[in-house]
Amino acid sequence: MKNPFDLTGKVAVITGSSRGIGKASAELFASLGAKVVVSSRKADACQAVVDGIKANGGDAHVIPCNISRRDEVEALIDGTVKHYGPIDILVCNAAVNPYYGPLLDIADEAFDKIMGSNVKSNIWLCAKAIPAMAERGKGSVVIISSIGGLRGSTVIGAYGISKAADFALCRSLAGEWGPKGVRVNCIAPGLVKTDFAKALWEDEANLKRRTATTPLRRIGEPHEIAGAVAYLGSDSSTFMTGQTIVIDGGVTTASV
C-alpha cells in the first residue's frame, strides 16, 4: 500500500513560509517529496529556507509576495504554475496583526489591514488557484486560522474576528468546490512559539497564566502544527473538507 502521506511530485504553495509554522510546513512538505514554493514579503528570508531545503535534498523555489497586494498574489500563483506546473496544495498561512489592545480603540486602517491580509487575501489566493484544481478534479487548500477565532480576547479581538471569518470562508468554499474534487480545510493553532506570536509568549506573566490552564502545560512548537498541514495536503485526508482541526494543547477544552 502506498504511503498516504507521500507528497512526491505534488506542487505546494505556502504563504508566509520564511519562518514559523509556514517554514516548518515547507520543510516537512519537501521532506515528503513535494515541490514547494516558499513565499513571504522578503525574498532573502525565503531564499534561506529554500537553501536549507535543497541542502537536505528537497526541491523548493522562492516567489516573494505581499499578500495584501492582489497583483502580487496573482503573480505568486502564476509564477508557481510557470515554474513547477499545476498546483496541488495551497496553504494560506500568512497573516498580520498590527494592533494589540482594546477592540473598540482600533483605528479603521488597522482593522482594514487585518481583514484584508487575513481574509480577503485568502479569497484572492483561492480564486486564482482553485478553478485549475477543479479542472483536474482534485486539490487541497489549507487555511491556517487560530483559536483566536473561537475565543474572545481583550487584546487581539480584531485578529480573532478575521480568524473566525476564515472558518466561514473554509466551510463555504468546501461546499462550492467539493463537487469538483477540491477540499478546503482549516487549522486552528493555539499559542505557538513563533516570531508572530512573540507579544504573547514573551510576556512571562501571560505565558505563566496560559500554560497553567493548558492541559499539556506548555505552548506549541511550529513543527507540531506542520504535521497537520501535511496531513490535510496529502491523500490521508481525501474524505475531509470544510473542517477545522484545533491544535492547542487542549486549552479550549480545559475548565478554568
State the Cα–Cα distance between residues 220 and 11, nearest whole angstrom: 27
Residue type, 52: G
Do 169 and 123 form a contact (C-beta atoms < 8 A)?
Answer: yes
State the Cα–Cα distance between residues 141 and 129, nearest whole angstrom: 9
- Is residue 100 among the annotated active site residues? no
What is the torsion angle, in degrees rounded to the nearest 10, for the CA atoms of residue 77, residue 9, residue 134 and residue 176? Answer: -80
Look-up: residue for cell 490552564? 213
CA neighbours closer than 13 Å in the CB half-sphere of residue 75: 14
Candidates 84, 99, 159, 231; catalytic one: 159
Distances (CA, A) of 165 to 7, 32, 103, 148, 170: 29, 31, 16, 11, 9
For residue 155, what is its C-alpha cell? 487584546
State the Cα–Cα distance between residues 159 and 156, nearest whole angstrom: 5
Cα 67 to chain centroid, rounded: 12
Neighbours of 161 (CB within 10 A): 18
User: Is residue 243 exposed (0-12), middle (13-18) or buried (19+ Cβ within 10 Å)?
Assistant: middle
Task: Give the residue numbers annotated as catalytic, written as ranges.
Answer: 159
